[in-house]
Structure 1
Amino acid sequence: MNHRLLTYAFAITAATSSFAQHTHVMDVNTKKAGATVQNTMYGLFFEDINYAADGGLYGELVKNRSFEFPQSFMGWQTFGNVELKADGPFERCPHYVVLSDPQHVERRTGLVNEGYFGIGVEKGEEYRFTVWAKAPKGSGRITVQLINPATMGEHQDFASVRLDVKSAEWQKYEVRLKANQTNNKAQLRIFLDGRNTVCLEHVSLFPVNTFKGRDNGMRRDLAQALADVHPGVFRFPGGCIVEGTDLATRYQWKNTIGPVENRPINGNRWQHTFTHRFFPDYYQSYGLGFFEYFQLSEDIGAEPLPVLNVGMSCQFQNRNNAKWHVPVNELKPYIDDCLDLIEFANGDTTTTWGRKRAEMGHPAPFNLKIIGVGNEQWDTLYFERLAPFVKAIKAKHPDIMIVGTSGPDSEGKMFEIGWKAMKELKADLVDEHFYRNEEWFLKSGLRYDNYDRKGPKVFAGEYACHGKGKKWNHYEASIYEAAFMTDMERNADVVWMTAYAPLFAHVEGWQWRPDLIWYDNTRIFKSVSYYVQQMYAMNRGTNVLPMTMDGKFIAGREGQDGLFASSVVDKNDGTVIVKVINTSKTEQPVTINLNGLTGATTAATITLSHNGPDDENTLDQPEKITPKNGTVSLTAGKKASVIQDKLAPLSFRLYKVKK
């Protein structure tokens, strides 16, 4: 009996001392504030892929509102006596429809719009219907309805209003509809009411309650999700869409400003790229244009980073075939576009383009500081075209920072050639892209430690961990992204900007994944990767603090048992912020010595953990995995405050300690 008690006692002693035996001791020097963490460090990249603009962030609910798609009635169903004409009031959007008498009292003339995978409306919310209209006889009427075509009820319509057209000249009209139900698959129906002909152009439907209440505004929940990240930089309007499949379909910012009624549509490079997920109705209305992008950047507190075409169409689709790219001696219009954009953003109201900005409702400058020229392009074709852009921009706007690119590779010969060229061309930042698997992220924890401190700075402008055989937003990949981000933070003297990509995806319209934010027409969920980005952005600090284990950076090295860590201080209030990620499949005990910080007894914590490594948030379970707030006790010593903790497998824990 005594022998058994003794054995039991030894077991208890071993269990209670195992923490001390196997703990990982990490040291943070809180007295040695190092490199400045830029305000732009953690940002967002918007690309119009996966129906991110029309059908997504942009609040417009009507597809092909001006009948300008090459298939003029794409998105519309017509009935009765409907005619399409092309001599309307807007030069670049000339098409409109004529609704005329169906010639029988029991017949109807009108239109139905299907929206983007349906029209999403919410019970109790109001929707602003606007249209440019005229009645050749001086008066006419239409009835505007929200309908549920799949209902088993007596009436398809659940909101209806009449609109009187009172002139034979084109005028803009507005009415409001209030939804008495939430419907993800509603449609907009317009009846000709009476016998008098009515002509309709730019048929539009917006929620009244857009982000910041703007008439031509953003979908409220999606834009709010961007603001809630607290991003430092907002890159737009995309990557590959900037280039276009050909130069005719490249993104042209000057087509995206001015009255929305007169902005021409543009074909989207992603419309036809993937035949396994093919969307022939994927066009850009340009309703979300450069003015709106700048305004949104301002609204969410981010530095705007526009990217413009360098005189090349998509290099992936056209490779080095010279006929698809602008000859170097013919680049002047493209260079002028860059210079004019800077004037549009920053020029005073006496300048040509500054005046246009003011006319759109923003007399004050947008204070543009950074511009990108070209996207994910490579080799001599790109370098020789970028050179005259850099020369012209620096000559006229020496304070504007220029972002070049190292191409689509994260390492290797072409990547190295790209970096060499960017140094020679004196680009201020180099845009690196890496969509890689779990192994790459786990092995790249020291990527930036040996970068040239005197060369251009890094913009990690597009990255995401793509799980092998998965490629969805599973939890494990997000944790590996969090681990990799410790290297970015630790090397903040080199890495000045970062952005996960892509940003948005409609659950019925995606072509690329994983993505940061998913949605249908009325609902939204934020991926675990979103919360990783948010945890970093909201706890950026101002300066890097040295953090090591056994004198080495904590970056998943051999013997570090899958641990990654970094630390910063916020000089504004003295808060020390420590981020530790356990990428292993087992619990890891840690001791964190906050050397030089005394008197603290508790630390606030934010933790991401899981019920399974393939867990993910969904529309039905949007908050299955979210950061959880808590506290942990500290041992206050004469020279340090000490955290002792145990990190769950595949978890991310952030500690905040006030001096």
Structure 2
Amino acid sequence: MKKHVLRNAAFSAIALSGLFATAQQNKYVLDTKETGVKIQPTMYGIFFEDINLGADGGLYAEMVKNRSFEFDTPLMGWAQPNSDKLSLNKKSGYANVVEAKKSGNKNYASIEVNDDKGYSLINEGFRGMGIKEGDAYNVSIMAANQEGNISKINFQFLDEQGNVVAETSVSPAGKEWKKYTAQMKATKTVAKGKLRVTFTGKGIINIDMVSIFPQDTWKNRPGGLRKDLVQKLYDLNPGFLRFPGGCIVEGRTLEQRYQWKKTVGNVDDRETLINRWNVEFDHKKTPDYFQTFGLGFFEYFQLAEDIGAEPLPVLSCGIACQFNTGELVPLAELDPYVQDALDLIEFANGATTTKWGKLRADMGHPQPFNLKMIGVGNEQWGPDYIARYKVFEKAIRAKYPNIKIISGSGPFPSGEYFDYGWEQLKQLKADYVDEHYYNSPDWFRKNATRYDKYDRKGPKVFAGEYAVQTVDIASPDNRNSWETALSEAAFMTGLERNADVVYMTSYAPLFAHADGWQWTPDLIWFNNLQSYATPNYYVQKLYGNNAGTNLLSLTADGKAVTGQNGMYASAVLDKASNEIIVKLVNTSDKAQSYRLDVKGKKLAAEGKMTVLKNENLKAENDFTKETVAPKESKFKTGKSKIESEIPAYSFVILRVRIS
């Protein structure tokens, strides 16, 4: 993800329509003879970055914000309605690292309760707390009684009017830190609830790691991930999961970069870090945006495994975000950064007798994660990046020669940075070069031929971040309209046609909280209770679930279908199911007839058709209704031909078995 502005990106819908008045039939030829080009299993994947409250407040199901009082303002997210009587003991709390607490978790609240009536701490959650009637919630807290007779810590969910909708309590005992757990069940559905913590008795008590998770998480893992959001990822049938970003890898400064070793081990001891997107954009400042790393590298690897995706971790190359400070690690001091990469591979793949392999096993996964690739830097550019990439490449190839390395061509899809990066990486015989593009619908349609003339013997392409922008890059007015998704569908036929060059692709960003976003558009939108799929999501899902295994030739008058009459097309064979899969995109405002002549093989008499369409280019989905969603039906074939009509503004997939 990047922060920069592209002007003149907007365009009129008239340019998209084409206004074709002719009703002539589009004639296509599909040759079932294999082209020799394989569709990589990693072709369509997922890019995850903690932007738009994607992790804390999103995928990571923790409901309590600033649960361990580690934000830069230690009580951010917490309120003390009776603050004159309920105080924080700063002497033993926030100023210093306490001996009883490990270095990653420095702070705790020391609370003096003078009366057992009316004293409370209120946590606001992540733009509120989503509470579901009938659902159970796991409550936990670290506590240590210091003096007095505090006999209970009480927990209550409150609705927007302050009514109690769930409650439970724990009974703390002793001066030593101990974890206490309880459960409570909600009696009402609440969109923006809060947590109230009160105390029975008088005295001084220390508390930390005040935590609440729904029991109904993905795979019912305690302290796990939000079920509906992971399900949407699973349904994409992704070939890979790239994590943790994005510019979040780089940080505004090197000190604020993402360091994977601080995100593994005991969750309670992981060190909180400010999120680099918290005040990046003037249109949406979020100073309460931090990373607790409950969703850390172990959890990312586990998630990739859960959804059947190859893990693709990306690490800092020793350059902070060049749109911010561009701070550099001197080459002579790069060794710790390189060692982080080598240690990460050991963490993912090493035997349990190794240092980092043992940690993975201790965390519950003795078997290797089978890591096959790693990213060096995000979207850095220029000689400074190439110099550092060379150091990483040499070290990784020496110790792990089978690991593929993802390099970068900078933040733009063309220009001086891009050309320099490609020239250098081609000379270095890089494995993959990551390209990013955020641009107008018109740009995406015109660039369906982008990879037609790429060097077939050069590095492979990872289209690591792309999305159509309706206004400008990083504009808060960008929309997830059908126009954007349709243009992406057209562009992706070009990715598929060039599968001998393009090995990996992913839309970005992935998630956005309806009340906590910084960047639009995004693939999946959610609030505290619900989530919905955008038209763009359905385009990605249809490609991911219809990827096939081998590229086939589909032409019109001997040429690829790349916008003639507003039509785009590609075709693949799925050897596993013995099916031909044809993708057709009509970007015009008229329904168009077509005849597809099939050479070499006979077709089954019937096939399955999936149609994604809307007559309104500005149509969007929302929490109440998904107006743009795929619909399936059956169609008849002519054994060696398919003849039909494709609606205006539509993306159609045909699947038919070879007879």
- TM-score normalised by L of structure 1: 0.93
What runs of 5+ residues in structure 2 fail to find an aligned partner?
Answer: 1-19
Moved over 3 A (4+): 18-21
Q: Residue 338 of structure 2 contacts residue 395 of structure 2 at CA under 8 Å; is this kept in 1?
A: yes
Partner residue in 1 for 2:201: 194
- Could you tell me how far 1:439 is from its partner in structure 2? 1.3
- Separation of aligned partners in 1, 2:107 and 2:22: 76
Residue of 471, 488, 491 corresponding to 2:495: 488
Change in 2 beyond 3 A, CA 1:59/1:21: closer
Contact 1:36 1:493 in 2 (8 A): yes
Q: Does 1:633 align with 2:643?
A: no
- Mapped to 2, the partners of 1:594 and 1:60 lie a distance apart of 53
Q: Distance in 2 between matches of 1:281 and 1:72?
A: 11
Match of 2:143 among 126, 129, 133: 133
The residue aligned with 1:355 is 358
Is the 8 Å Cα contact of residues 61 and 226 (structure 2) preserved in structure 1?
yes
Change (3 A) 1:588 1:149: closer
- Displacement of 1:313: 0.4
CA RMSD of aligned residues (A): 1.6
Among 429, 432, 443, the residue aligned to 1:426: 429
2:445 matches 1:446: no
Q: 1:127 to 1:289 in 2, by over 3 A?
A: same
Q: State yes or no: 1:645 paired with 2:644.
A: yes
In the alignment, which residue of structure 2 is the partner of 1:93?
A: 105
SS at match of 1:479: helix
Work out the CA distance in 2 between the residues paired with 1:187 and 1:284. 20
Question: What does 1:491-530 correspond to in 2, within 5 Å?
Answer: 491-530=498-537
- 2:126 aligns with 116
C-alpha contact (below 8 Å) 1:141/1:198 kept by paired residues? no
Larger CA Rg, structure 1 vs 2: 1
Aligned to 2:257: 250
Question: Are the aligned partners of 2:111 and 2:206 in contact in 1 as well (CA < 8 Å)?
Answer: yes
Picking from 37, 46, 49, the partner of 1:47 is 49
Q: Could you report, residue by residue, the CA deviation over 1:471-518 in whole angstroms, capped at 9, with x for unpaired residues? A: 210001100100100111111111100000000000111111110000
Distance 1:426 1:217 in 2: 40
Matches within 5 A, 1:256-295: 256-295=263-302
**Structure 1 equivalent of residue 403 of structure 2:** 400
Structure 2: distance between partners of 1:21 and 1:273: 50
Does residue 1:371 correspond to 2:383, yes or no? no
Larger relative contact order (Cα-Cα within 8 Å, sequence gap ≥ 6): 2
Aligned residue among 223, 247, 272 for 1:240: 247
Deviations 1:294-319 (A, max 9, x none): 00000011000000000000011125
* Alpha carbons 2:598, 2:641 under 8 Å: kept: yes
Q: Distance in 2 between matches of 1:21 and 1:619?
A: 38
> Is 1:438–1:468's contact at 8 Å kept on the other side of the alignment?
no
Q: 1:296 aligns with which of 303, 306, 321?
A: 303
**Residue in 1 aligned with 2:8?**
none
Do the aligned partners of 1:141 and 1:196 also contact (CA within 8 Å) in 2?
no
What amino acid is the match of 1:576?
Answer: I
The structural deviation recorded for 1:108 is 2.8
Q: Contact (CA 8 Å) 1:508, 1:520: kept in 2 or not?
A: yes
Task: Give the whole-Å Cα distance in 2 for the aligned partners of 1:633 and 1:196.
Answer: 78
CA contact (8 A) 2:407 2:433 kept: yes
SS of the aligned residue for 1:455 comes to: coil
Unaligned runs of 5+ in 1: 1-17
* Equivalent AA in structure 1 for residue 598 of structure 2: L
Task: Pick the aligned partner of 1:388 from 387, 391, 398.
Answer: 391
Distance, in Å, in 2 between the alignment partners of 1:496 and 1:32 is: 18
Kindly indicate whether the alpha-carbon contact (under 8 Å) linking 1:50 and 1:510 is maintained by their aligned counterparts in 2. yes
Are residues 1:223 and 2:230 paired? yes
404-413 vs 461-470, greater mean Cα deviation: 461-470
- Give the CA deviation at 1:371: 0.2
Query: After superposition, where does 1:7-26 map in structure 2 within 5 Å?
Result: 22-26=24-28
Deviates more, 1:136-145 or 1:279-288: 136-145
Alignment partner, residue 417 of structure 2:
414
Question: Within 5 Å, which residues of 2 pair with 1:557-572?
Answer: 560-572=564-576
CA distance in 1, matches of 2:445, 2:610: 22
Q: CA deviation at 1:19?
A: 13
Partner of 2:17: none
Sort the Cα spacing of 1:37 and 1:109 in 2 relative to 1 into closer, same or farther, 3 A: same
Correspondence for 1:6: none
Which stretch shifts more, 177-186 or 396-405? 177-186
- Shift in alpha-carbon separation, 1:552–1:161, aligned structure 2, 3 A: same
Distance 2:35 2:574 in 1: 9
Paired residue type of 1:645:
S
Q: Is 1:608 aligned with 2:612?
A: yes
Shift of 1:98: 2.2
Q: What is the Cα deviation at residue 611 of structure 1?
A: 3.7
Is 2:341 aligned against 1:338?
A: yes
Q: Which deviations, in whole Å up to 9, do the C-alpha atoms of 1:248-289 show, x marking residues without a partner?
A: 100000000011111011111111111221100011111110
CA distance in 2, matches of 1:186, 1:20: 57
8 Å Cα contact 2:603/2:657 also seen in 1: no
- Distance in 1 between the 2:434 and 2:465 partners? 8
Structure 2 contact 60–226 (Cα < 8 Å) conserved: yes
1:133 aligned partner, one-letter code: A
CA contact (8 A) 1:210 1:218 kept: yes
C-alpha distance in 1, partners of 2:648/2:257? 46
Are 1:455 and 2:458 an aligned pair? yes
Alignment correspondent of 1:144:
155
Counterpart secondary structure, 1:162: strand
Deviation larger for 590-599 or 85-94:
85-94
**Equivalents in 1 of 2:57, 2:369: separation in Å?**
27
Q: Which residue of 1 aligns with 2:315?
A: 308
CA distance in 2, matches of 1:599, 1:269: 54
Q: Tell me the percent identity.
A: 46
Aligned residues between the structures: 624
Q: TM-score, normalised by structure 2?
A: 0.93
Residue 418 of structure 2 aligns to a residue whose secondary structure is helix
SS in 2 for 1:241: coil
Deviation at residue 32 of structure 1 after TM alignment: 2.4
1:578 aligns with 2:585: no
* Contact kept in structure 1, 2:143 and 2:206, CA below 8 Å: yes
**Structure 2 letter corresponding to 1:481:** E
Structure 1 residue matching 2:36: 3-state secondary structure: coil
8 A Cα contact 1:139 1:167, kept in partner: no
Aligned equivalent of 2:4 = none
1:25–1:549: 8 Å Cα contact kept in structure 2?
Answer: yes
Equivalent-residue separation in structure 2 for 1:101 and 1:65 (angstroms) = 20
Higher deviation after alignment, 600-609 or 113-122: 600-609
Instruction: Please tell me whether the aligned partners of residues 112 and 187 of structure 1 are also in contact (alpha carbons under 8 angstroms).
Output: yes
Query: How do residues 316-335 of structure 1 correspond to structure 2 at under 5 angstroms?
Result: 316-319=323-326, 324-335=327-338
